[in-house]
Amino acid sequence: MCGIVGYIGARQAQPILYNCLAKLEYRGYDSCGIAISNENLSIYKDTLNINELAKIVPILQGTTGIGHSRWATCGEPSICNAHPHYDCTGKFAVVHNGIIHNYEILKKQLIAEGHHFISSVDTEVIPHLIEKYYKGNLEEALEEALHNIVGSYAIATITSGENKLVAARKDSPLIIGVGESERFVASDVMAMLDYTNRIVHLEENEIGIITDSNVKIKHKGSYIQRKEHKIEWNSNATGKMGFEHYMLKEIYEQPRIIGDTLKTDYRNIKQIVSSQVVKDKEIAPLLILACGSSYHAGLVGKYIFEMTLGISVRVEFASEFNYYGHIPTKTRAIVITQSGETADTLKAVRKLRQAGCYVLAITNVIGSSVTHIASETIYTHAGCEISVAATKSFIAELAVLYRIAMLCADKRLEIADILAGAKQIADKGRGILDETDGIKELGEYLAGYNTVFYIGRGINYPIALEGALKLKEISYIHAEGYAAGEMKHGPFALLSPVTPVVAIVARDNTYEAMINNIREVKTRKVPVIALMEEDDDVVRGIADFVINIPCVNPIFSPMVNVVALQLLAYYAARKRGCAIDFPRNLAKSVTVE
């Protein structure tokens, strides 16, 4: 989940590495470091963010370098555990994202051979292995080192002896950027958008040998050709555009994303979606797999497909499915992963594909790992999302799921007419963003509590889960989402005047039951914040506080309710002074199990 960058060219590497790393801090920010190659290697690292590191590192001359922003998986955050790591001679430097499962065995062997280790992390075995096998060619030494390694990795390495950068990947993302007389390496395209949008993808088990004017790719001992791709994003997409935080900017981008997605034809896969996703419904349910916020989107998808298409849908955490999931005959699956690199989700896709299953991937990142192993891919086109907490990527996933339902229901006119109302949703979401004062006040109110419960029913139960996740992610307030009817089965024991409840009310077949649930909560003297349609006087009469939500067809209520809950979490975190875009202990792209 760490961020890797590398540069080789005619310009000084140090400021370019700083700039690239700053764009990758969402991948990890408990420590960072850089290594510059000249006549010798210069390595500086610390338990700081990249802007703080830049203030203390002296000017380093050199046009080749690597950098790293860390999210700790092996070894606590410390200077010695930070990357880059180096060998006994100080000749080789390595940055790494992934996990080396057999590093303890390798470390013991290397120590017995006379190598000295200074950290407690798995990565440090890599430069020592490179030193062991180096005979004047960095590419060959890394290739030999990788034969010893069991695990996942994206690696970039340099040496003071050769003017090149060598990279390798297995189960972790790594791309190469192509500029004029310069080349880049990064975990994510956002790192290099200030310099180039020309990308070469490094695939599984490949090694990239990179100079300022050339890229060679090696797979199983043979060199192969790989075409460049142009990325449509630009560097402006990675700015805050005047907003205080990336998260707020990304929330305000959602109406445009909703509108664009719900108008997208997806003509190239319409027939596949119609024939594959909903065929043979009597044989096996449609399987949806995801993690985190994408899992909540999948739960909403379950309600959408069952309500509009009449098919049975099973939703699983990819992380659990990998170890306990049963694959029925003729399973058709949808996997949802914002980054396209989520390790648990990729493992599930491989498991399904090995079983001969059709897998449709929904992702935001063109050319990401999931696109190479799924049967087909739909892109959300949400654009780059910097804030660690998913907002616009979540709503884009929802919009794609609604769009799939539209495509598959196009011959059922009564359903198509309902879904045609989706064109209003973007305007309804924009209406919430135009009236945020009340939400801001209630977010600041929640900031004074330590525990908050979110409740919903039916298609808004997953939105209760997502609302609670947003609050706990960025404000560090303990929050739990529940199906409202389940509160009586245990959680009521925790209710008190200091445990507010956020209730999501929709005018669907759950409405009366939801009213009863709110009354049950209120009898325990619990403050209730209700999300309700603007003209709902019944809810207004029993809740302590209300957030007015525009009237929409109940099937679309998740799209407007989640915008309000994102803002509620944002203003609670802002009141608490939290690091909203980069919350503690988290990272955007979860590339390890």
186 and 179 in contact (C-beta within 8 Å)? no
118 and 105 in contact (C-beta within 8 Å)? no
Q: Residue 403: helix, strand or coil by DSSP?
A: helix
- Considering only CA atoms, give the Rg of the chain: 25
Strands 206-210 and 175-179: unpaired
Task: Return d(Cα 403, Cα 420) in angstroms, integer.
Answer: 10
- Residue 588 falls in the annotated catalytic set: yes
166 and 209 in contact (C-beta within 8 Å)? yes
Task: Return d(Cα 373, Cα 376) in angstroms, integer.
Answer: 9
Q: Is 223 exposed, middle or buried (0-12, 13-18, 19+ CB in 10 A)?
A: exposed
Looking up tokens 């739960």 gives: 299
Task: Return d(Cα 456, Cα 506) in angstroms, integer.
Answer: 9
Task: Return d(Cα 534, Cα 518) in angstroms, integer.
Answer: 18
70 and 82 in contact (C-beta within 8 Å)? yes
Q: What's the residue count for the chain?
A: 593
Strand order in the sheet with 3-9: 41-46, 31-37, 64-70, 3-9, 182-186, 175-179, 198-201, 229-230
Task: Return d(Cα 498, Cα 525) in angstroms, integer.
Answer: 9
Q: Is 585 exposed, middle or buried (0-12, 13-18, 19+ CB in 10 A)?
A: exposed
Q: Half-sphere exposure of 155 toward its Cβ, with a 13 Å CA cutoff?
A: 36
Task: Return d(Cα 155, Cα 186) in angstroms, integer.
Answer: 10
Task: Return d(Cα 538, Cα 576) in angstroms, integer.
Answer: 33
User: Which of 45, 91, 107, 588 does the annotation list as catalytic?
Assistant: 588
3-state secondary structure labels for all residues of 477-490: CEEEEEEHHHCCCC
Looking up tokens 């949400």 gives: 382
- Residue 2 falls in the annotated catalytic set: yes
Longest dimension (CA), the chain: 79
Give long-range contacts, CB 8 A cutoff, 24+ apart: 10-14.
Answer: 10/63, 10/181, 10/182, 10/212, 11/63, 11/182, 12/61, 12/62, 12/63, 13/60, 13/62, 13/63, 13/64, 13/65, 14/57, 14/59, 14/60, 14/62, 14/65
346 membership: H or E segment, kind and range: helix 343-354
Task: Return d(Cα 363, Cα 370) in angstroms, integer.
Answer: 8
Task: Return d(Cα 468, Cα 451) in angstroms, integer.
Answer: 10
Task: Return d(Cα 474, Cα 55) in angstroms, integer.
Answer: 27
Q: Which residues belong to the active site?
A: 2, 588
